[in-house]
Structure 1
Amino acid sequence: MADVCSLRSVEKSQCIYVCVLLLVLTSFASGLDTCIEVKSAISQKGLDENEVPVKAISGSDLAICPHSESCCTQTLENQLTLHGRKEHTAQLNKTFNLIQRTFIHRRRKFDEFFKDLITHAAQGLDEMFLETYGVLYRQNDHIFGALFNQLRLYYGGEDMNLMSVMQHFFDNLLIKMFQLINNLQVTDDRYMRCLTDNMDKLKPFGDVPTKLGTHVQRAFIAARTFVQGLAVGSRVVA
């Protein structure tokens, strides 16, 4: 439907353009015995001035030009229509190309900006935790690396639930912390599953998982929607 409406809008604009052009040309004939000025105007448009009659003639068989006497003929009318459509299409393409380049440029800049934010966040967290926990953190940094990889995949278009991603991260973090703190206690998968299933009751991290998950979800949904919208926009005007 949008394409049909757009096409009709273009056709209407072309018609208006041609009408104005023809009316301007025919106005030269008003009060004149010859069509010299019209021949000159037609020549400047790159059309054949020989199609212009020497004197104003009846326009009873014309579709756009006035039906009274004018310097317009059916052949000239058709040529001007084609010429007007060509010029109008060229102007539209020029405008659309500019809009498309704008969409592409802004999408690329935002994409680079947001990916840099993710990278800097990962690096900043890595440096802070390494300085605080040293080798203990380095031996388990894959938990954090997996989280940021999931976030990158989501931003890139992967279909996943970010709240579930964050929950999975804190589940793994809880298990690893429990194992490190209780390294002498023997536990099995069933015990660990019970531990994570009751995280909402135990709240080992307080309300951090919920708050952080909400903030991450809002930021990434907005960023992904925005960058995808810019990509769609560049294709629509192509």
Structure 2
Amino acid sequence: MSSAVRMDTRLNFPVYPLMVLLCAVCALSGTRSAVASSGRSCADTRQVYAEKGYSTGTAPLTQISGEHLRLCPQDYTCCSSQMEETLALQSERDFLKAVEENSQFLLTTFTQRHRRFDEFFRELIDLSEKSMNQMFTKTYGRLFTQNAHVFQELFVELRRYYSGGSVSLSEVLSDFWSRLVERVFSLVNPQYQFSEDYLECVSKHAEQLQPFGDVPRRLRVQVSRAFIAARALSQGLATGRDIVNKATKLTADSECVRGLMRQWYCPLCRGMPSLRPCHSLCLNVMKGCLANQGDLDTEWNNFIDALYQVSEKLEGPFNMELAADSISVKVSEAIMHMQENSVSISTKASR
């Protein structure tokens, strides 16, 4: 497979590492260099609060009783009710922003990989059709151009299958060979004028006559493997993109906000803005806020493993470049086989 579409970066989205990363990012949110709290003064709290763009009009100058607090411990505090409410909203915004920023790389990766793979595979189909047209125009000239629609329909159906259409590859290829045998049978027997009913009869008995030898079976196996795997990978990348996009559209419930306040802004209300949350507290809060995403962890990893298995098959036994290149070659081989065995095939057909 071209390096342009090779999945060379592991597309993993484990929730636990995301939690760790969020803890690392968010632990720094709103902190300053360590400054010791001076007694009951709220100067440090007022300064940090002002640096966030909020008015200090309701901020106490010194610590007051915290009986009015709803989220932080109700001991002496540097936060008024309005400050606590404002900081609760700020903690939610900080959390959602951190999730969005840390998931953006994964979303971008899936989006780009899907686009690049889709463009690459569609280009392979286009090149395969172009190669066939050039080869057969040069070899058969007017006979090919008169029947070009048979080959065009094959590629139309192949594209429709890849795009997710309700198409059976076996039926597509079977119909193609049926139409082709009618054209080639007339070509190798120019001394006769066959009726449509007779040619249709030849087409219906193609399995017994085997006018193209073993080529149809070999082409069906090769094309089916490559197209099934390519469609699965394309759809998988698109699905992964959509899952990441939806999974990171979060809302923080009241318990999540309470936990976020405890780790980020309750120390600020206590007059200790430089105090950072311990790692275990941060992880517990993140697990609560990302509980639904955590439930996806096992299935997500299985999904990623499946994508890798498909991509490896496309590089190996289901190689899509070889399959696309082989279409014109095998069709040409099939026609030559019928030309070389025209006498025996015509004899069988006349019985």
Work out which of the residue numbers 184, 202, 205 in structure 2 matches 1:198.
Answer: 205
Cα deviation, residue 96, structure 1: 5.1
1:42-70 per-position Cα deviation (integer Å, ceiling 9, x unaligned):
11122222332222223244233223223
Structure 1 distance, partners of 2:63, 2:45, is 10
Work out which of the residue numbers 67, 70, 73 in structure 1 matches 2:80.
Answer: 73
The corresponding residue for 2:231 is 224
Secondary structure class of the residue paired with 1:224:
helix
Work out which of the residue numbers 17, 37, 41 in structure 1 matches 2:44.
Answer: 37
Q: What TM-score do the two structures reach when normalised by structure 1?
A: 0.77
Asked if 2 retains the 8 angstrom alpha-carbon contact of 1:58 and 1:69, the reply is yes
Asked if 2 retains the 8 angstrom alpha-carbon contact of 1:65 and 1:72, the reply is no
Residue range with higher mean Cα deviation, 169-178 or 122-131: 122-131
The corresponding residue for 1:181 is 188
Cα deviation, residue 29, structure 1: 8.2
Structure 2 distance, partners of 1:61, 1:82, is 17
Residue type matched to 1:125 in 2?
Answer: M
Cα deviation, residue 195, structure 1: 2.1
Structure 1 distance, partners of 2:155, 2:198, is 27
Structure 2 distance, partners of 1:228, 1:21, is 38
Unmatched segments (≥5 aa) in structure 2: 1-14, 247-351
- Taking only the aligned residue pairs, the percentage that are identical comes to 34
Q: What TM-score do the two structures reach when normalised by structure 2?
A: 0.55
User: Larger RCO: Structure 1 or Structure 2 (Cα < 8 Å, ≥ 6 residues apart)?
Assistant: 2
Cα deviation, residue 235, structure 1: 4.2
Q: Which has the higher helix share?
A: 1
The corresponding residue for 1:115 is 122
Residue type matched to 1:107 in 2?
Answer: H
Asked if 2 retains the 8 angstrom alpha-carbon contact of 1:28 and 1:38, the reply is no
How many residues are aligned here? 224
Structure 1 distance, partners of 2:156, 2:203, is 22
Query: Cα 1:60–1:28, aligned 2, differ >3 Å: closer, same or farther?
Result: farther
Structure 2 distance, partners of 1:159, 1:185, is 39
The corresponding residue for 1:159 is 166
Asked if 2 retains the 8 angstrom alpha-carbon contact of 1:29 and 1:71, the reply is no
1:95-174 maps to which residues of 2 (within 5 A)?
A: 95=102, 99-174=106-181
Residue range with higher mean Cα deviation, 216-225 or 161-170: 216-225
Unmatched segments (≥5 aa) in structure 1: 1-5
